[in-house]
A and B are shown apart, each in its own frame.
Chain A
Amino acid sequence: MKNIRFIFYGIIFSFILIRVEAISWFRIQEMFHFQSFHMYGVLLSGIAVAMIGLKLLNKYAGIETKSKPLQLPANIIGGISFGIGWGITGACSAPLYSLIGLQLWPATIALLGALIGTFIYAVLKKKLPHNYEFRNKTDKNTSTAISQ
């Protein structure tokens, strides 16, 4: 039960997301219609502060972070799929949980869908193109080209 303290972090994170309206379907629509700077401001200022913090942590505390590996087909197709889900439900992963807490009960169906989507990915994982398969293919192509 050493992980129980993370409930506290979750409450704080949820509080910030709700109060700045990052969980609002309307705000997400506003963002995708380019009608307000609000959500761009939230994302860009959040990224900027985190970026400066990461640089300082790295320089003065020696804390390094791991970047997610580049997997082009996965990043692109997965990203677009996630984006469509984000646009429809007006909530990404954390806001979906916040909405359930706010007793917007249809959000539970979206979460159920997300879990089904995760199952679909787990089953299909080996058949889906990820970066390394993509690279293998190009390697094969170049090697046949050379042997020819």
Chain B
Amino acid sequence: MNQLYDIIFVKPWPWWVGGPLIGIFVILLLIIERKQLGISSSYQYICAKVSPWKLDYFKEPEKNAWQFFFILGVIAGGAILSFLTPAYEIGISEETIVTLDQIGIHEQKGFAPAEIYNFSTSSLLVIGLGGVLLGFGARYANGCTAGHAIMGCAQLAPSSIITTIGFFVGGLLATYLIIPLIL
């Protein structure tokens, strides 16, 4: 029983469990709800609801309302798991541990490094700016990892394949040029 609990809640899942489950999730969402997986339209919905200005982009927020409830669930899912998984095991490769140690990230535990995810002014500025690029880019490209990289690439949509390449170009720029600079 304990072993089963460990497999489901504590030990990191291998990619061949989580990846296919994401694919199955996409299909079930389509069959049951006729919704195409997407997350970043929730930004549009939240902004439309709180915006003091009337902007064209914020017209008709209700078509994205389901994504808002979806992300409430994503937050709730994190909260629930934080209670079910008290001792979290990290599963990255030895090579990455060495690489990260060399650039100044010394403790590999939890979900994000304390060197970047903390409340110092400089860290908050870096994370905040990263968030701005994330939100701006997702809306400009008309989708994020969910809508473009998973759903869109599964459709073999040219827009999604090009955007996904863009995601990786940006990610490599951040990894090799920006992360070493901010640490």
Listed in ascending order, the chain A residues whose CB lies under 8 Å from chain B are 3-33, 35-54, 57, 61, 63, 65-72, 74-94, 96-107, 109-123, 125-126, 128
Contacts and interface: CB of A to CB of B under 8 A. Distances in A.
A45 B74 contact: no
6 contacts: A20-B13, A22-B18, A57-B30, A88-B129, A91-B112, A94-B144
Given A12-B77, A65-B36, A114-B134, A87 B24 contact: no
B127 A97 contact: no
B77 A77 contact: no
Nearest to B162: A75
Majority SS at the chain B contact face: helix
Contacts of B39: 92-94, 97
Given A30-B92, A97-B78, A104-B117, A7 B175 contact: no
Interface in B55-106: 55-58, 65-82, 90-93, 95-96, 99-100
Contacts of A24: 90, 92, 111-112
A3 B69 contact: yes
Majority SS at the chain A contact face: helix
B111 A83 contact: no
Given A35-B95, A116-B131, A120-B132, A101 B116 contact: no
A101 B78 contact: yes
Nearest to A14: B77
A113 B15 contact: no
Contacts of B74: 10-11, 13-14, 17, 94, 97-98, 101
A6 to B, nearest CB: 4
Given A68-B142, A81-B136, A43 B19 contact: yes
